Amino acid sequence: MKFFIDTANLAQIKEAQELGILDGVTTNPSLMAKEGITGTNNILKHYVAICNIVDGDVSAEVIATDFEGMVREGEILADLHPQIVVKIPMIKDGIKAIKYFSDHGIRTNCTLVFSVGQALLAAKAGASYVSPFIGRLDDISTDGLNLIDEIRTVYDNYGYETEILAASVRHTMHIVECAKLGADVITAPLSAILGLLKHPLTDSGLAQFLADYKKGN
């Protein structure tokens, strides 16, 4: 399973990259705004800065919601760096834009996916990645992980190559459950990724080993 970090924070991206387990980065307009990155030029520069830190795909989201606007913005984003994947919302013109980019060799990530039907359309249009938002489904008392399971079944039924990128991952167990269900990728905050390290028996076991070493030396 690939690990992406879901942030526009350069320090956190560096920390995950230095850990040696990072396969890519996802961003969105909210994450950019959270880091205080505003204005088209600054946003474009920030994408390049991210690409220069990480070895892997970097999702950069279009703001336009019409086909022509998405194509125009997506081509600018794709030209920035070979690692850029154009992130397109799951709307009617978005599907048309994904098909256009797929036909022109530009990789896409279809975002804001909340149903199997949406995921099926994204795959048919040739999306490289589909992003089901599991945490936001949990927020409305729906089982987000079940959506990962259902998309996995449908994609495997027909051999779709679109990668399932589990997004809106909120905590460590989401990551573990996505791995069990066969998500191709998870994108998570650094805290959820680092949570995988933690176990009290590791801490107490290590403390005991070090104490025993000291006794003998």
- C-beta of 168: minimal distance to ligand G3P in Å? 3
- Single out the catalytic residue among 87, 96, 180, 198: 87
- C-beta of 170: minimal distance to ligand G3P in Å? 6
DSSP per-residue string spanning 138-193? HHTTS-HHHHHHHHHHHHHHHT---EEEEBS--SHHHHHHHHHHT-SEEEE-HHHH
**Residues 75, 81, 83, 88: is their CA dihedral positive or negative?**
negative
Closest to 89 (Cα-Cα) out of 52, 57, 54, 114 = 114
> Binding string to ligand G3P for residues 162 to 201, with x set by CB under 6 A, is what?
-----xx-x----------------x--------------
| Catalytic annotation present for 87 | yes
Q: In the set 28, 108, 118, 128, which binds ligand G3P (CB under 6 A)?
A: 28
- C-beta of 136: minimal distance to ligand G3P in Å? 5
Binding-site ranges for ligand G3P (CB under 6 A): 6, 26, 28, 133, 135-136, 167-168, 170, 187
List residues with catalytic annotation: 87
